[in-house]
Amino acid sequence: MSYHLIEVTDASANIHCPHCQQAVVNFANEEYIQPCKHTLFIALNIGFEYVADRFEKLLPKSVDELHEDLEQDIFKIVSAVNINDMTIVKSDLGVMDMFRYTGFSK
């Protein structure tokens, strides 16, 4: 398991793909989640907002099963998936110990 972690502390900051620069989380839009072809997942501590098929196939359980498990650690689960050159952006949500995790790979 190899990944590069980028931490963002500004809860209002948009999240851009490190490969194509598209804003995949853009709070200026009503539909603020706009995944690009490099987006693997967008998740909160409590579950997934978006997951690409190619990433979901590598998860140890289905997304539905993960959402049912209230004790799961989303970061531990996504960071354990073996994908070459994965970048994970960990962004603060402005609430204590709550984060959004956005994963990218070419």
pLDDT digits (tens, 9 = 90+) for 1-57: 589 999 999 989 999 999 999 999 999 988 999 999 999 999 999 889 999 999 999
Beta carbons within 10 angstroms of residue 77's beta carbon:
18
Predicted TM-score (pTM) of this structure: 0.92
Beta strands (DSSP E) in the chain are 3-8, 15-16, 23-25, 39-44, 47-51, 86-92, 99-104
Task: Report the number of distinct structural domains present in the chain.
Answer: 1
pLDDT tens-digit profile of 63-72?
Answer: 988 888 878 8
What sign has the CA pseudo-torsion 48, 51, 54, 56?
positive
Domain that holds residue 88: 3-104
pLDDT class of 94 with cuts at 50, 70, 90? confident
Task: Tell me which of 16-20, 71-75, 86-90 is least confident.
Answer: 71-75
In angstroms, rounded to a whole number, what is the distance separating the alpha carbons of residues 69 and 5? 25
